[in-house]
Chain A
């Protein structure tokens, strides 16, 4: 076993951390207070991120990305994760890997503009009636001549207001399986402005200010067959093949935010004096710090191990679920305890802790709830015994 970082990984961390601290942190408070990310600010930071090779660095080198292995990519995600989500997601975007599944024409039309920072992508899966149970989706597409006609509603669609197009997952029929009828799903590229496709403002929410979600409505929206991503009826296969490590991405961003909260708590505990000594000398505080550091390390090790296995081709669903589950829960614990150590000051928005605490909440819900992750882990345990 080898736990050291390579020179490249260390430099990736240095560059990303420096960028986050210099280019993103100064804008956090304004974004948090206004809930809005101005376009000129996005463009300014975007240009700097492109110059630093941080923009779309998740992509392979042949399409203009950094060509990182999974562990190196996640180390970069951890550093980005320290900052306000809207800032790092929008200004240092990582286009979805699913765009790599496209044909050469689709890559030119959809992937490359995302990599160049000309537009953003968004994935439309969730519906009001279909969350964890994605196969329960009602939005559908039917073939009509050479075209497909899309109907239905998607919601909670992240960044759809900025995105120039969406990848919409639609039910396209049913097939019989030994476990009963199963919906067939197809993924479609739908350009903003296509007739019958409407993007409406979504909901205001507690986490990630400046981040937006939207409601997408398809009303007899007609797209050509060339807009199918992958093969018809194989939408889930495309997603499973290409979206593999998104749980690890969430885990890594949680680790960065948790580390930022922990470092703030350590500094505060060392400096803040009450009753004639630094509060870190009180066992009530020092034991909290020990537990926070230990839990963070445990979550990191789970995440890095899953990343390493991902590249070896030996990762299991349970490995990735464990990493996401642990990292999101550890973040919640550390954010809460860091505020406790800071006392009243921890709740003021001059410090990033109150937002880290708010932001932590969604991490146990999106990209698979904690319950779904536990289901995946236990299913793998039981299946091995025929259960």
Chain B
């Protein structure tokens, strides 16, 4: 079984995000970019499936700027077998919207015929949480979102989902789309010898036109603002005062 893993190049989670002065978005110039952490978990899971003998090949695909090939190389260094780059924009400020990404992925799925698509549940930049679900709809495949455990048994996948306040286990028919949550696994480091070997792995360069997909944006961003700053705290003189304030002012007890 072939596993397809879409990966997105996003602002590194350690970077202190700054909103552009004109409010049109986040400033991405000269900012460290990395693989979306949820996608890293998806890549790790795919590699583990291969190591267990469940998967035979792990193909990673990224849609965005040319530099996304760095993200693909990282996935190859972790252990993916080959990569597809769909260069859909030349501006790091342009985010390809979930529907366009899902359409491109649907086209890739038709070409590659994987038995499983493993996606991050969302990208940490725009937090859309939509691509996996849209892909499922476009393909007419089953979907299992927010996976914290995945067991593949023949033509079904048993997926434990992280839902509000608990876990839900469902069984879906293969082929399927699984979007992964934070606790599914701990991704490995791309090891130094594998980094050196990744150079020799194939990376195919494509464009949206190759798949006949229009990636023009359908959404327009009206405004981007920084989260409100934290207000200054106060010191209380005694436990009684603390309890009184929690009761009367904060109203939490």
Interface residues of A (CB under 8 A from B): 7-8, 10-12, 14-16, 18-19, 51-54, 57, 61, 65-68, 76
Contact B34–A15 (Cβ < 8 Å): no
Q: Are B77 and A11 in contact (CB under 8 A)?
A: yes
Task: Report how far A14 CA is from B40 CA in the complex, Å.
Answer: 14
A8, A18, A67, A76: the one contacting B189 at CB < 8 Å is A18
Cβ-closest chain B residue relative to A6: B199
CB-CB < 8 A to B191: which residues of A? 15, 51-54
User: How far, in angstroms, from A225 to B192 measured CA to CA in the complex?
Assistant: 37
Chain A nearest Cβ from B196, distance in angstroms: 6
Contact, CB under 8 Å: A67 / B190:
no
Give me 24 A-to-B residue pairs in the complex whose CB atoms sit less than 8 angstroms apart, sorted by A's number: A7-B73, A7-B199, A8-B73, A8-B195, A8-B196, A10-B70, A11-B190, A11-B198, A14-B34, A15-B191, A15-B192, A51-B188, A52-B189, A52-B192, A54-B191, A54-B192, A61-B193, A61-B196, A65-B193, A66-B193, A66-B195, A66-B196, A67-B196, A68-B192
Q: Does B74 contact A (CB under 8 A)?
A: yes
CA gap between A35 and B253 in the complex, in Å: 47
B168 within 8 A of A: no
Q: Chain A residues with Cβ under 8 A from B198's Cβ?
A: 7-8, 11
Known: A7-B199, A8-B199. A67 touches B193 (CB 8 A): yes
Determine how close the nearest CB of chain B comes to the CB of A145; give it in whole angstroms.
45
Q: Judging by beta carbons under 8 Å apart, are A15 and B189 in contact? A: yes
CB contacts (< 8 Å) of B69 on chain A: these are 7
Contact between chains at A53 and B194 (CB < 8 Å): yes
Which residues of chain A come closer than 8 Å to B199, judged between CB atoms? 7-8
**Which residues in B have their C-beta under 8 angstroms from that of A7?**
69-70, 73, 198-199
CB-CB under 8 A from A10, the residues of chain B are 70
Residues in B whose Cβ lies below 8 Å from that of A18? 189
Closest beta carbon of chain B to A274's beta carbon, Å: 16
> Which residues of the partner chain A approach B192 to less than 8 Å between Cβ atoms?
12, 15-16, 52-54, 57, 66, 68, 76
From 174 to 198 in chain B, residues with beta carbon under 8 angstroms from any chain A beta carbon are 188-196, 198
Residue in B74, B188, B190, B196 with the greatest tally of chain A CB atoms within 10 Å: B196
CB-based A-B contact count at 8 angstroms: 59
Instruction: List residues of B (73-105) whose CB comes within 8 Å of A's CBs.
Output: 73-74, 77
Given contacts A11-B195, A67-B196, A68-B196, contact A19 B189 (CB under 8 A): yes
**Interface membership of chain B positions 59-80, coded 1 if the CB is closer than 8 angstroms to chain A and 0 otherwise:** 0000000000110011001000
CA distance A66 to B192 in the complex (A): 6
**Residues of chain A within 8 A of B73, CB atoms compared:** 7-8, 11
Beyond A7-B199, A12-B195, A19-B189, 5 additional pairs, beta carbon < 8 A: A8-B196, A14-B34, A15-B190, A16-B192, A66-B195
Least distance between B243 CB and chain A CB atoms (Å): 31
List chain A residues, Cβ under 8 A from B74: 11, 14
| Chain A residue with the shortest CB-CB distance to B74 | A11
Cα of A19 to Cα of B191 in the assembled complex, Å: 10
Nearest 5 CB-CB pairs, A to B? A53-B191, A66-B192, A53-B192, A52-B189, A7-B73
A53–B34 touching, CB < 8 Å: no
- A68→B69 CA distance, assembly (Å): 22
CA distance A101 to B192 in the complex (A): 24
CB distance from A227 to the nearest CB of B (A): 31
Q: How far is the CB of B115 from chain A (nearest CB, A)?
A: 28
Which chain B residue shows the least CB distance to A21?
Answer: B14
Which chain B residues border A51 with CB–CB below 8 Å?
Answer: 188-189, 191
Are B190 and A14 within 8 A (Cβ)? yes
Name the B residues within 8 Å of A65 (CB-CB). Answer: 193
The interface residues of chain A lying within 8 Å CB-to-CB of B194 are: 53
How long is the Cα–Cα vector from A76 to B189 in the complex, in angstroms? 14
CA distance A10 to B198 in the complex (A): 13
